[in-house]
């Protein structure tokens, strides 16, 4: 398992991983919607990270970077794990891996949103701030 940034990762590869990770999610986003969402949210591949297994993305965190209230902020625009890799702590490992990179880029705040009834995601995100 290799953790690395998404710099140089093609959109098709990212889109396939996104679709697979969210295949059982209540909200569906196709490739063109994903592309628009990433553009709108300021997606920065160099500051977004994934776990790769044999060259395949199996978990990821897509970060948008922007200036909010005068503070350079990362916005978690999508964190997902392919079903067969869930429960291994990959989302937490990716987030921990990203922190030094975000700090070097002078990002000082991290925002995210989650559906409150998605208890697995809420649990992961609570670990991030505890």
| pLDDT, tens digit, 9 for 90 and up, residues 43-86 | 999 999 999 999 999 999 999 999 989 999 999 999 999 999 99
With contact defined as beta carbons under 8 Å apart, do 49 and 40 qualify? no
> Does residue 111 surpass a pLDDT of 90?
no
Look at residue 115 in the predicted model and tell me its pLDDT: 52
pTM of this prediction?
0.84
Q: CA–CA separation, 28 vs 104, rounded Å?
A: 34
Which alpha helices (DSSP H) does 1-130 contain, by range?
11-21, 31-40, 90-104, 119-129
């Amino acid at each position: 398992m290799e953790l690395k940034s998404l710099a140089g990762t093609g959109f098709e590869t990212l889109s396939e991983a996104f679709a697979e990770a969210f295949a059982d999610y209540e909200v569906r986003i196709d490739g063109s919607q994903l592309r628009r969402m990433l553009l709108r949210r300021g997606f920065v591949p160099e500051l977004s990270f994934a776990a790769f297994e044999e060259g395949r993305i199996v978990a990821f965190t897509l970060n948008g970077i922007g200036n909010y209230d005068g503070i350079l902020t990362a916005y978690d625009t999508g964190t997902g794990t392919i079903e067969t890799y869930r429960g291994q702590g990959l989302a937490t490992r990716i987030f921990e891996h990203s922190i030094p990179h975000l700090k070097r880029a002078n990002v000082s705040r991290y925002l995210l949103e989650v559906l409150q009834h998605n208890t697995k995601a809420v649990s992961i995100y609570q670990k991030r701030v505890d």
